[in-house]
Structure 1
Amino acid sequence: MSREIPPTGKRSGPGSSPELRASHADRDRVVDVLRVAAGDGRLTAAELDERLEAALSARTVGELVALTTDLPPVSASGVATVAEVKDVLRIDQRFSPVTRVGRWVVPRRLELAVEWCEVTLDFTQAVITQDTLRIDMDMQGETLTLVTKPGVVVDTDGLRLEHSKIKIRQDPDPGAPTTLRVELVGRKIHGRVVVRPPRRTFGQWLLRKPLSLPAGD
C-alpha cells in the first residue's frame, strides 16, 4: 500500500524526526502547498502571508509540518502537479481558438502571441501557486476573455489598446482578499478584452441567487 507524503515531501518513519533540520527544498515544498491551498480558497490572504513567513523562517521539519496539519495531505500526484508549474508558457497561434479551463496549472508568466484567435483563460478552478501572473500580449483580432473568481484581480494599466475595447465586470465578492493578480502588458490590436466572473446557471438566474463557486475553489 502506498503511503501519503507529508507536505515536506519526506515519508514518515524513523528517519523523519520532527527535530530534523529543514532544508531549502523542504521550505519550498511547503510554500507551494500553502499557495495551492490559498488558490483553492482554504486559506485567506492574511493566513497565507502569516504561514509563508513562518515557513521561510522555519528551522526544523516539525515547524513546517505544523503549518499544514489542517490542510489536505499531499499525495505523490499532488507533488507532481506543483512540479508542472512553468516559469514561462508561450502560446504562438493563428486562426484557432485557445482555451485554458478546469484545473490547468497557471504559469508564472504567459507570453501570448496570437492572431485572429479567440482566447479564453478560466481561473475559477485553475491551480494557482503564486500571487502574480504577468501576461505579455501581442494579440491581433478577436477577444481575450478572462474568467475570474473572488480573489483574482486583473490589472490592465500596462496594456496598449489599438482599435480595441476593454470590458471589466466585478466579481460577486469584490471585498475578497487577493490571491492572484493578473497583469496584462503589451498590445491588443482590434477586438476586445473581457474580464468577467463565471456565468450564472439558468436556475441561479431564475432565483437571482448570488453566484457561488464549487467547494474548494
Structure 2
Amino acid sequence: MSDLQMRVSDEDRERGARKLQEAFMEGRLTQLELEDRLELALTARTYGDLLGLIADLPADAPAVDEVVELASKNGHIQRSGDWAVPRRLRVASKYGSVELDLSEAVIPHPVVEIDLDLKYGSAKIVLPDGAAADIDRFRADWGSTVTTNVPGRAQPGALYVVVSGETKYGSLTIRYPRKRWFTH
C-alpha cells in the first residue's frame, strides 16, 4: 500500500481545510472553488484524496514564530518595514512607547493577536490598507481613549488584528499608513 492510499485523520482533514482557507484569503481560490474543495477535504478518506485538493497551491510560507514577546522598562519598542509578524505578539512596556507598523510586514496569518501591557506608555499600530482591527478586548484606565479609523469587523481576504490588554495612563491609536504626496 502506498502512502497516498493511507487513510487520513480528522486532524489531517482540518489541516487541509485550513490550507484551503488560507489560499482563499490570499486570493488564490474563488469562493466557489473554496466551497467545492472544502467539502471534498472534509470527507477525504486517503492522503491521495487530500493532496489532490492542495497540489496546485504553493508550499507553506516560511515558518514564523507563533508567539513573540517584546518587553522594555523605559525604552521605545518599534517594529517597521519588512519584518515577520507572529500569529500572537505580546508587548510589555512600563514607561516607554510602542509603535508597530504592519503596513510593509510579512504576515502569513489571516488573524494576528496583539496583547499590550502598557503602564505609562502609549501604543500606535499601523495596519496595511484594507485591514480591520477588533479593540473590544483593550482597556484604557486613566489614559486617553482608544482611537481608531479602521473597520472593526473582519473583511474577506484582508488582515484582521485582535488587540487585547490594557494601559494605565497611556493611549492606543490604530490607523492606516499616512498617504505620501509626491510632486513632479
Residues in 1 aligned to 2:17 and 2:162: alpha-carbon distance in whole angstroms: 22
CA displacement at 1:40 relative to structure 2? 4.0
Measure how far apart 1:37 and its partner are: 3.6
CA contact (8 A) 2:71 2:77 kept: no
> 1:128: which partner in 2?
108
Judging changes above 3 Å, is the alpha-carbon distance between structure 1 residues 22 and 146 closer, same or farther for their aligned structure 2 residues? same
Identity of aligned residues (%): 29
Partner SS, residue 63 of structure 1: helix
Distance 1:147 1:129, change over 3 A: same
Deviation at 1:44, TM superposition (A): 6.9
- 8 Å CA contact 2:127, 2:176 repeated in 1: yes
The superposition leaves residues 168-187 of structure 1 with CA deviations (integer Å, 9 ceiling, x where unpaired) of 1236xx89416544332331
* Runs of 5+ consecutive residues of structure 1 not aligned to the other structure: 1-13, 208-217
Q: Which residue of the partner structure matches residue 152 of structure 1?
A: 131
1:92-107 mapped onto 2 (5 Å cutoff):
92-101=71-80, 102-107=82-87
- Partner of 2:48 in structure 1? 62
Q: TM-score normalised to the size of structure 2?
A: 0.69
After TM superposition, the structure 1 stretch with the greater mean CA deviation from structure 2, 21-30 or 184-193, is: 21-30
Q: CA deviation at 1:36?
A: 4.8
Contact 2:79 2:100 in 1 (8 A): yes
Q: How many residues align?
A: 180
